[in-house]
Amino acid sequence: MTMNKDRRFAEKVALVTGGGDGIGRAIAVEFANGGASVVVAGRTEAKLKETVQLIESAGGKGLAVSCDVRKENEVKTALQITKETFGRLDIAVNNAGVDEKSSPSAEQSTAEWERVIDTNVHGTFLCTKYEVPLLLEHGGGSIVNISSGAGVIGVKGQSAYVTSKHAIIGFTKSVALDDVDKGIRVNAVAPGMTETDMMMKRATGGKAENIAKAKSLAPIGRFAKPEEIAKAVTWLCSGDASYLIGATIVVDGGQTVP
């Protein structure tokens, strides 16, 4: 019998921030399916450990590292632990992010604005800052930043989140130029509404009528599965995407097309 096992990421080491839940977890497992060793970095250790179990079930090596992406010393340490454990870094997915408590800008609290921008924008910057030198040690690699459909359109009541996700696309374009000549490819994925806690519990409050209303906004008529976003991310990190630099792939069931 012919085995058709995906070995695209054999011998590679991948880091996924926010890998304890939702999209980040699906990305981590997809890398493991391709043969990578995967570090999941995030705030909730128990959830990260669950992801490591899934990585190991997929036949990969996994490591959970506590890290708040807003804190420079924690990001720096997470990358040091990655190097100490696996010796290198080839792929990084800056996925950790928070949604915004909906409010018109004029009524939004400054603390909420700062929480969203700090996590989504500053966190992506900090991770990149410490990922790039590790990638360069072994001739480059790939970074994917997770933006959102809200990175390409405006959304009522979501000015901090929309700003943060637009910023990630601009950041991606700029960082992509920094070390393209040294073998680092930086791109972004902008997911649409995806079946994770962010959408199923917080954005919709878990209410059937809100879920139905949200689904109707996507021409495809449903939410994405986290695995559908993970497929786009892992493809971007694979050799098949070798000519993509500074690009954003929108994976949103057509929501932002009209």
Ligand X SMILES: NC(=O)c1ccc[n+]([C@@H]2O[C@H](COP(=O)([O-])OP(=O)(O)OC[C@H]3O[C@@H](n4cnc5c(N)ncnc54)[C@H](O)[C@@H]3O)[C@@H](O)[C@H]2O)c1
Q: How far is the CB of 102 from ligand X (least distance, A)?
A: 14
Answer whether 124's CB lies under 8 Å from 171's CB: yes
Q: Residue 253, interface with ligand X (CB under 6 A)?
A: no
Between 35 and 42, name the residue whose CB sits nearer to ligand X: 42
Computed over its alpha carbons, how large is the radius of gyration of the chain? 17
Q: What share of the chain is helix, strand, coil (3-state, %, to 5)?
A: 50, 15, 35
Q: Which residue has the tokens 């933006």?
A: 147
- Does the active-site annotation cover 161? yes
Member of 187, 194, 234, 255 binding ligand X (CB under 6 A): 194
**Where does this chain touch ligand X (CB under 6 A) — which range of 18-26, 52-60, 79-87, 125-133?**
18-26
Q: How far is the CB of 159 from ligand X (least distance, A)?
A: 15
Q: Which H or E run contains 47?
A: helix 45-57
- In terms of Cα–Cα distance, which of 32, 129, 25 is closest to 73? 129
Q: How far is it, in rounded angstroms, from Cα 121 to Cα 164?
A: 6
Task: Read off the DSSP letter of residue 26.
Answer: H
Size of the site for ligand X (CB under 6 A): 30
- Does the active-site annotation cover 147? yes
Q: Residue 204, interface with ligand X (CB under 6 A)?
A: no
Q: How far is the CB of 2 from ligand X (least distance, A)?
A: 35
Answer whether 22's CB lies under 8 Å from 146's CB: no
Q: How far is the CB of 168 from ligand X (least distance, A)?
A: 8
Candidate list 37, 130, 159, 161, residue with the active-site label = 161
Member of 51, 108, 119, 204 binding ligand X (CB under 6 A): 119
Strands 248-251 and 184-191: parallel
Between 60 and 123, name the residue whose CB sits nearer to ligand X: 123
Between 162 and 184, name the residue whose CB sits nearer to ligand X: 162
Task: Supply the residues annotated as catalytic.
Answer: 147, 161, 165
